[in-house]
């Protein structure tokens, strides 16, 4: 009997270290499916961030480099400039990309570097234990904002996709989530499109994926999904913010 659903070839056999209810696993799978479908695993180099996904290289089957905190876009620039034939993607969280790595992502996007960034936004620093991130929601309690994010003190959450879409250089910028089957299908389409633009040598591409962190949010996996829908989605609207055709 033919198999109708299998693990992507680009994913390894290792169990992940991600917490129950975390959506990193789903996002990994969507990236791996895309790499399989485009047939580029053998010429793909991924770049792991610092954060929960630092060990992402254990879960993919392609070449990988491990970045310093926030610097993945600079490394991707280095690789892609010297080897334009490779398919390069960075996989970064919101502390990594939107805080310490803001300079690198803005300039890589503005130069129109031909790589793809998967930006996983779960509104918190995950690996270090749930500290406030630039994307933390107003009033959201974290270990460094125990009374809730005070926007008078630290400003409003950064909308990375909108910020990058405002740059004048052509790019593909999309925001998606993976909290239910329908949104997962849409996220897959966006991720695939992002890689296709890169393979065609068209433009920089970034897909922001709103993600869950039940552990650091102090919620059950189901409550976490609800929180993304009820709290994050109204502030971080989904959809393609910019395409190179614009």
Residues in contact with other proteins by the rule CB under 8 A:
41-45, 47-48, 54, 57, 61-68, 71, 74-79, 81-83, 85-86, 103-104, 107
CA–CA dist 129, 65 (Å, integer): 24
Least distance (Å) from other proteins to the CB of residue 180? 33
Least distance (Å) from other proteins to the CB of residue 97? 14
Closer residue to other proteins (CB): 10 or 174: 10
Closer residue to other proteins (CB): 64 or 235: 64
Closer residue to other proteins (CB): 21 or 51: 51
Closer residue to other proteins (CB): 96 or 209: 96
Least distance (Å) from other proteins to the CB of residue 161? 20
Place of tokens 């250089």: 169
The answer to whether 158 touches 135, Cβ cutoff 8 Å, is: yes
The answer to whether 98 touches 84, Cβ cutoff 8 Å, is: no
Q: For the chain, first and last CA: distance in Å? A: 46
- HSE-CB at 124 with a 13 A cutoff on CA atoms is 28
Closer residue to other proteins (CB): 56 or 228: 56
């Amino acid at each position: 009997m033919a198999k109708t659903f299998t693990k992507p070839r680009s994913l390894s056999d290792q169990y992940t270290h991600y917490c129950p209810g975390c959506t990193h696993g789903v996002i990994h799978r969507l990236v791996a499916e895309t790499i399989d479908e485009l047939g580029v695993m053998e010429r793909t180099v991924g770049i792991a961030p610092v954060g929960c996904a630092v060990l992402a290289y254990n879960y993919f089957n392609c070449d990988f480099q491990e970045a310093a905190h926030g610097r993945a876009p600079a490394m991707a620039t280095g690789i892609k400039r010297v080897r334009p034939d490779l398919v390069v993607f960075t996989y970064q969280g919101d502390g990594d990309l939107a805080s310490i790595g803001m300079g690198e992502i803005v300039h890589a996007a503005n130069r129109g570097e031909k790589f793809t960034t998967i930006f996983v936004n779960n509104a918190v620093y995950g690996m270090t234990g749930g500290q406030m991130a630039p994307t933390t929601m107003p009033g959201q309690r974290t270990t460094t904002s125990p009374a809730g994010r005070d926007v008078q003190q630290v400003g409003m959450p950064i909308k990375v996709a909108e910020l990058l879409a405002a740059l004048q250089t052509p790019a593909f910028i999309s925001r998606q989530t993976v909290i239910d089957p329908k949104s997962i299908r849409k996220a897959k389409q966006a991720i695939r499109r992002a890689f296709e633009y890169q393979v065609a040598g068209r433009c920089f591409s970034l897909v922001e994926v709103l993600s869950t962190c039940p552990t650091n949010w102090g919620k059950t996996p189901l409550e976490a999904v609800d929180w993304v829908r009820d709290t994050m989605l109204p502030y971080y609207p989904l959809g393609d913010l910019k395409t190179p055709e614009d």
